[in-house]
Amino acid sequence: MESSSSALSRLSNLQRHLHPPHSNSKIRQGLVKLSPEVAEALSTGHPVVALESTIISHGMPYPKNLETAKEVEAIVRENGAVPATVAILDGVPCVGLSMGELERLATLGTKAQKTARRDIAHVVANRGNGATTVSATMIFASMVGIHVFVTGGIGGVHRHGEQTMDISSDLTELGRTPIAVISAGVKSILDIPRTLEYLETQGVCVAAYNTNEFPAFFTERSGCKVWLQYANLKLKLGTGILIAVPIPKEHSASGGLIESAIQIALREARDKNITGNAETPFLLAKVNELTGGASLASSILLLVLSTCSDIALVKNNALVGAKIAVALTQLKEHSNRGDAE
């Protein structure tokens, strides 16, 4: 059994590296374990795409979660990049999982702790198993030099957040960790305009893929305009970039059904003056009622990914993320050649 002094020493070493930019010393010191495939890709300048692991452990039941994880990784490979699923196993942050490790995480399911930035120290110190959320995945990916991360959707400012201060740590992480996050936007059960305002306050560049309107996860449009800036990494601004990818058109019908139910539920909650802690349970129950249970109401709260449209979002994001990673690598190579000349 590890002594308390040894655990504290490992924890102290990890905490010192949560903020500084990429350095190979972190890997040499054993703070982060890279899979052989990811290590080779990073050393040779091959494009790499980080993937979160909460989608595996808390997203859907086994073996559907394992099948989906394999399919998403395959999409990244087919589009020219190396997938790097991130998790903490036995207290060791891992960037890139073997098939055996993926299966272990899938079978652990919710026994693996959902791990955001605030939870990393606890999971590592106790040699626990952690499924990384958006914020924790961003940290470890950036720590080893990965510049692109694909997820389903990000958290945001909850409705009435100006009173409750209920704001996802995903947003503050985007303001402090330099990585491009590819997502399907923010679910409209949240306050999208205030989420975008908060991201602006954090200095986060927000872009939408092939459109100038920010998508609302289940639908292509939210009514909020966004613009793109390409020089973030080059200028070393120290903040992340959020690139929101609209739902594929072939799945927009089912997404539209869910979005319509959400809007009805929101209006009813407003009419009945249901706010605060009572609002989210009411919205989830109402959306579930309106869609006959097909809405994945629980997924809005728990990130459960088990409908065709929801899984399709993640796969589409993986495709776009891989292409962005490849393009970024090509831009860097072109820039390096220009500097050499």
Residue range 161-215, pLDDT digits in tens: 777 788 989 999 999 999 999 998 887 678 888 999 999 999 998 888 887 777 7
Residue range 12-60, pLDDT digits in tens: 565 555 544 444 555 544 689 999 999 999 999 999 999 999 989 987 8
Residue range 208-258, pLDDT digits in tens: 888 777 776 665 554 444 445 345 556 667 889 899 888 777 666 566 677
Domain presence at residue 247: yes
Owning domain of residue 287: 30-331
Q: Are 247 and 235 in contact (CB under 8 A)?
A: no
Domain presence at residue 20: no
C-alpha–C-alpha distance, residues 223 and 129, integer Å: 40
Residue range 278-317, pLDDT digits in tens: 776 687 778 777 776 544 433 433 333 334 456 778 899 9
Domain presence at residue 341: no
Joined together, the tokens standing for residue 109 give 């399911």
Residue range 103-150, pLDDT digits in tens: 999 999 999 999 999 999 999 999 999 999 999 999 999 999 999 999
**Which one is predicted more confidently, 2 or 47?**
47
Supply the pLDDT for residue 317: 92
Supply the pLDDT for residue 299: 45
C-alpha–C-alpha distance, residues 103 and 224, integer Å: 39
C-alpha–C-alpha distance, residues 115 and 329, integer Å: 29
Domain presence at residue 114: yes
C-alpha–C-alpha distance, residues 103 and 168, integer Å: 29
Q: Are 175 and 117 in contact (CB under 8 A)?
A: no
Q: Is 165 exposed, middle or buried (0-12, 13-18, 19+ CB in 10 A)?
A: exposed
- In this predicted structure, the answer to whether residue 8 has a pLDDT above a threshold of 60 is no
CATH number for 105? 3.40.1790.10
Q: Find, among 325, 150, 322, the residue nearest to 233 by Cα.
A: 325
C-alpha–C-alpha distance, residues 280 and 166, integer Å: 12
The domain tally of the chain equals 1
User: Where in the sequence numbering do the catalytic residues fall?
Assistant: 52, 187
Domain presence at residue 8: no
**pTM for the full model?**
0.80
